[in-house]
Amino acid sequence: MKKFVKVALAATCLMTAAVSQAAEPFKIGLIIPMTGPFASTGKQIEAAARLYMQQNGDEVAGRKIELIVKDDGGVQPEATKRIAQELVVQDKVGVLAGFGLTPLAFATAPIATQSKTPMVVMAAGTSSIVQKSPYIVRTSMTLPQVTAPMGQWAAKEGGIKSAVTLIADYGPGHDAEKAFVKNFSEAGGKVLDSLRVPMQNPDFSPFLQRVRDLKPDALFIFVPSGQGSTLMKQFTERNLAGQGIKLIGTGDVLDDDLLPAMGDEALGIITSQHYSTAHDSPENKAYVEAFRKMTNNSMRPNFMSVGGYDGMHLIYEALKKAGPNANGDQLLAAMKGMKWVSPRGPMQIDPETRDVVQDIYIRRSERLADGQIYNVEFDVIKEFKDPGI
């Protein structure tokens, strides 16, 4: 009798534990700019994360997944850090994700380390971010990774002998500048000057005047996603193309999110990046179609969106591999070395650096059959790791 009671009691306890565990969802705290100058980055990532959940369900290995979206406004690192702290302490999130810009990722890194919470960087691109915490994993890109191939291509294939660099004056811009100068120079090109524009509310005009005076073969640009339209407008107003100065850059400047609103001035521009809406693969065709449908055709998925989509994939797969009740260290271990085919092409997480390894494409902007301008990939550097700076 006594034995029976004990067994029954144990069984009840086990069941209660199982039920309460199943009832407690696994929470993903997604911190992104949904307002302010970088709101397009947040909107792209949120739409992609929701699409991923719509396609793959809101349950992994029997545990419910809850996505908590927080708007950090995109410009105050302390605000992002405070939101992360609250998500960890009050909401008990299992993963922190998002991070639209480098300073926001830098500020949050100590929270990830102290709380042993994996932090999936879906947007920011400064090379050193992954070194700021052993809990950081990146699904976006790094600026040296995207820029190095452009520097090489410009000198070797593009027939460009001289260039001026013009970058947003903060982490990813500094990385892009260094990577371009190094690769372009090593391949035989000459950099005439390197200009840095304030990152907030930039006015490119005085810098473009300087470029016009220097008359290089090409102007290399990095601006964060969302600022490309202003740059293109001022480049056109100054008629730099008319002076024989070609515009080249990372894909951030001819962001797919902005391209539909640009005119002929955006045609024939060579950029390098890891994602284009026009990437030719069955995975991407399905992705673009589903993304457009989900956003009622109001948005074209850009590179920020795949950062979010693949970040969700990484979290789902890590939960499958490590089990639905895995802790932060176990999830992180499961994320290292993960490989899959993304809408952008094949990608993986380097198990040593926790950074993204992916194909980088050289693209030319062209008008396609639907009358819109796209970045059409014509060359690829396979499985390219962040070369650092």
Q: Report which of 69, 199, 181, 178 is spatially closest to residue 124, judged by C-alpha positions.
A: 199
Let me know: does 137 contact 166? Beta carbons within 8 Å. Answer: no
Verify binding: residue 301, ligand VNL, rule CB under 6 A: no
Is 248 in a helix, a strand, or coil? strand
Looking at 21-29, 48-56, 118-126, 336-344, which segment touches ligand VNL (CB under 6 A)?
Answer: 118-126
Residue 73 in contact with ligand VNL, rule: CB under 6 A: no
* 344 contacts 256 by C-beta, under 8 angstroms: no
Among 28, 30, 31, 38, which residue interacts with ligand VNL (rule: CB under 6 A)? Answer: 38
Residue 124 binding ligand VNL, by CB under 6 A: yes
8 Å CB contact between 102 and 79: no
Residue 147 touches ligand VNL, criterion: CB under 6 A: no
Site stretch for ligand VNL (CB under 6 A), options 206-214, 221-229, 236-244, 366-374: 221-229
Of the pair 167, 318, the CB lying nearest ligand VNL is at 167
Tell me if residue 192 falls in helix, strand or coil: strand
| Radius of gyration over every alpha carbon of the chain, rounded to an integer in angstroms | 22
* CB-closest chain residue to ligand VNL: 224
Q: Pick the closer one to ligand VNL by CB: 146 or 270.
A: 146
Closest CB to ligand VNL among 259 and 318? 259
Q: Is 306 in the site for ligand VNL (CB under 6 A)?
A: no
- Our finding on whether 108 is near ligand VNL (CB under 6 A) is no
Indicate the residue among 44 and 234 with the shorter CB distance to ligand VNL: 44
97 binds ligand VNL (CB under 6 A): no
Choice between 108 and 225, CB closer to ligand VNL? 225
Q: Shortest Cβ distance from residue 32 to ligand VNL (Å)?
A: 10
Q: Does 101 bind ligand VNL (CB under 6 A)?
A: yes
322, 330 in Cβ contact below 8 A?
yes
Quick check: 302 binds ligand VNL (CB under 6 A)? no
Hey, what amino acid is at 294?
A: M
Distance between CA atoms of 312 and 327, rounded to whole angstroms?
17
The answer to whether 117 contacts ligand VNL (rule: CB under 6 A) is no
What is the spatial distance between Cα 178 and Cα 389, in angstroms, rounded to a whole number? 7
Q: Which of residues 166-205 bind ligand VNL (CB under 6 A)?
A: 171-172
For CA atoms 290, 295, 297, 298, the dihedral sign is negative
| Closest distance to ligand VNL from the beta carbon of 101 (Å) | 3
Stretch that binds ligand VNL, among 55-63, 223-231, 260-268, 282-290 (CB under 6 A): 223-231
Q: Does 272 bind ligand VNL (CB under 6 A)?
A: no
- Taking the C-alpha atoms of residue 286 and residue 193, their distance in angstroms, rounded to an integer, is 43
Phi and psi of 153, rounded to 5°? -60, -45
> For ligand VNL, what does the binding mask look like between residues 226 and 245, x meaning CB under 6 A?
x-------------------
Q: Which amino acid is at 167?
A: I
Q: Which two tokens stand for residue 109?
A: 């890194």
276 is a site residue for ligand VNL (CB under 6 A) = no
8 A C-beta contact, residue 124 and residue 105: yes
Contact with ligand VNL (CB under 6 A) among 44, 80, 102, 302? 102
Beta strands in 302-344 (DSSP E): 339-342
**For residues 388 and 171, what is the distance between their CA atoms, to the nearest angstrom?**
13
Which of these, 220, 225, 217, 230, lies nearest to 178 by C-alpha position?
220
Contact residues: ligand VNL, CB under 6 A:
38, 41, 100-102, 123-126, 171-172, 224-226, 252
